[in-house]
Amino acid sequence: MNLREVLRQTASSIAAHKLRSFLTMFGIIWGITSVILLVGLGKGFSRDQKEHLKTIGVDLAIIWGGRTSEQAGGYAAGRLVRLSIRDAYLIKNEAYLIKTVSPELRRSVAEVSRYNAASRPVRGVWPDYQRFRSLRVEEGRLMTDDDESEGRRVVILGVESRDQLFAGKPAVGELLTMNGSPYTVIGVLEKKKQNGSYGSGPDNTQLFVPYSSMARDYPPPEEPGIFKGWINNLVVEVADPEHHEEAMHQVYRILGREHGFDPADKDALFIWDTLDGSKLVERIFDIMTIFFGAVALMTLSLGGIGVMNIMLVAVTERTREIGVRKSLGATASDIRNQFFAESAALMVISGAIGLGIGVGICLLASHAELPDFIPHPVISPAAIAVSLLTLGLITVGAGMYPAQRAAALSPIECLRQE
């Protein structure tokens, strides 16, 4: 029996049982589509989370003073470590593995515009902070080195701060009185999709001013242990992610020398490392993607079991036909090829349809406006390759057993069947 005849009989058999063929194929279609969609969603979640983490900053470490847990330099353990502006200059001048650094001074002050009033957090920072914290303006400009060196009273607003203080009115160029000091609004930040933050909240809710202006106009309160030059925290950007851990050791050595604690005392400083956070998030979503893929492949395998079951039913239904064909000269190989071709046709057609649906949905979703909590699925070549490989293995397994069983039937026994 030639290939053309096999294909003709296969098409005839599928057409004769349209509903049964469709229901059998549906399991494979859904399995292939599930693999592509679930893996795509997992990778989409991972990509979106990385993008959201970038809104905080890339390769950053936020450093707070901690409490020593070891004796060092003649000091007892349990001593508070308070960071100062001098620490920022030491890291800037000595830590060659740190690309940039900025102090951060935070205050909650009363703000009054000619339209409204608020009491929102204000951050005093160096201009480099704007770059490595991914602050971009929607209108106006960012702070410059001249703003910092001259202590200019200029302010940049987050979008929520702008909306409250200026209520839809133009903000850039307007005066904003903060605790009695007049500041000029020079920019409004782009709205950020920010999943996390530190300190006083997301950037959309903040106001940003030069550090020198903040330190002059809003000095720290006179309290025990609080001194001139005290800052809330430092933010550092690592020069090379490959040397991230070594850069952190360098920071510990410099601040340990300055504050008299052992550089090996990890409790002396509290550090939030965004690189470590990014790696953790990536591992979590990689595991989630693998789990999604495994569930989808299991669904695909169950579809293959359905195909094998239908083909076994077909062998039973067509036992007499098999006997007649063998009596007329058909060989066991002809029978085997016929049944295997039918099962393979079901697999290939349904696999192609499932692949088209899965890729099509991913492409449509990638160009659609989706809610923030729904990721845009990513088409994964690896998922497509694995699903097609699995489909091939299932085709051999689900098709060969019924075909072999049909080929092994005796013509005499077949003809006895009613």
In a domain, 109, yes or no: yes
- Residue 124 per-residue DSSP state: E
Shared domain for 411 and 311, answered yes or no, is: yes
CA–CA separation, 189 and 170 (whole Å):
13
Phi, psi torsion values for 235, nearest 5 degrees: -125, 125
Range of the structural domain that residue 38 is part of: 3-54+280-416
For the beta carbon of residue 72, count every other beta carbon within 10 angstroms: 18
Q: Give residue 295's Cα distance to chain centre.
A: 20
DSSP secondary structure code for residue 179 in this structure: T
Asked if 128 and 214 sit in the same domain, the reply is: yes
Indicate the pLDDT class of residue 205, thresholds 50, 70 and 90: confident
Q: Are residues 108 and 49 in the same domain?
A: no
DSSP secondary-structure letter at 368? S
136 in a structural domain: yes
Q: Residue 215: inside a domain, yes or no?
A: yes
Which ranges of 55-200 would DSSP assign to H, the alpha helix?
85-94, 128-132, 145-149, 159-166
Name the residue with higher pLDDT: 103 or 167.
Answer: 103
Report helix, strand or coil for 364.
helix
225 in the same domain as 326: no
Q: What are phi and psi of 193, to 5 degrees?
A: -90, 90
For residue 12, the tally of other CB atoms under 10 A from its CB is 10
pLDDT given at position 338: 72
Q: What torsion do the CA atoms of 18, 23, 27, 28 make, to the nearest 10 degrees?
A: 0
Same domain, 121 and 218: yes
User: How much helix, strand and coil, in percent to the nearest 5, is found in the chain?
Assistant: 55, 15, 30
Q: What does the pLDDT average to over 381-404?
A: 77
Q: Do residues 339 and 314 touch, judged by C-beta distance below 8 A?
A: yes
Those residues whose C-beta lies under 8 Å from the C-beta of residue 143, and which sit 6 or more positions away, are: 125, 127, 130, 154, 156, 186, 208, 209, 210
Tokens encoding 356: 């088209």
Joined tokens for residue 295: 């569930």
Q: Which single residue is written with the structure tokens 């720290």?
A: 220
Nearest to 77 by CA among 270, 271, 265: 265
Q: Judge whether 171 and 118 are in contact, CB under 8 Å.
A: no
In terms of domains, do 26 and 127 share one?
no
SS3 of 26-52: the string is: HHHHHHHHHHHHHHHHHHHHHHHHHHH
* pLDDT for residue 396: 77
Q: What is the pLDDT of residues 261-292, one digit of tens each?
A: 888 888 889 888 776 666 666 677 777 777 77
**Does any domain span residue 160?**
yes
* Tokens, residue 408: 């092994």
Count: domains in the chain: 2
Q: Which of 172, 203, 230 is the last residue of a domain?
A: 230
Residue 197 CB-density burial (10 A; 0-12 exposed, 13-18 middle, 19+ buried): middle
- Asked if the structure places residue 141 within a domain, the reply is yes
Q: CA separation (Å) from 186 to 121, 122, 155?
A: 17, 15, 6
Q: Please say which residue of 230, 253, 270 terminates a domain.
A: 230
Domain shared by 412 and 284, yes or no: yes
Of 402, 410, 408, 216, which is closest to residue 323 (Cα–Cα)? 410
Handedness of CA 287, 289, 292, 294 (dihedral sign): negative
Q: Rg (Cα) of the chain, in Å, rounded?
A: 34
The torsion angles phi and psi of 103, rounded to 5 degrees, stand at -75, 160
Both 215 and 295 in one domain: the answer is no
372 and 290 assigned to the same domain:
yes
Q: How far apart are CA 405 and CA 418, in angstroms?
A: 19
Same structural domain, 110 and 44:
no
Per-residue pLDDT, 172: 92
Q: Is residue 131 part of a domain?
A: yes
Is there a domain that residue 387 lies in?
yes
Q: Is 127 part of a structural domain of the chain?
A: yes
Q: Taking Cα atoms as reference points, which of 418, 415, 409 lies closest to residue 335? A: 409
Q: Which of 208, 230, 252 is the last residue of a domain?
A: 230
The per-residue pLDDT for 5 is: 57
- Strands 207-210, 154-157: parallel, antiparallel or unpaired by DSSP? antiparallel
Planar angle of CA 63, 67, 73, nearest 5 degrees: 105
Tens-place pLDDT, residues 326-358: 677 777 777 777 777 777 777 788 888 888 888
253 contact partners, CB below 8 Å, separation of at least 6? 263
Same domain, 286 and 172: no
pLDDT (tens digit per residue) in 295-318: 777 877 777 777 777 777 766 766
* Structure tokens that stand for 245 in this block: 């851990």
- 33-84 per-position pLDDT tens digit: 888 888 888 777 777 666 666 556 667 888 998 888 887 666 677 888 889 9
- Asked if 237 contacts 126 with a C-beta cutoff of 8 angstroms, the reply is no
Assess whether 207 and 316 both reside in one domain.
no
Residue 3 has pLDDT above 60, yes or no: no
Q: Are 120 and 206 in contact (CB under 8 A)?
A: yes
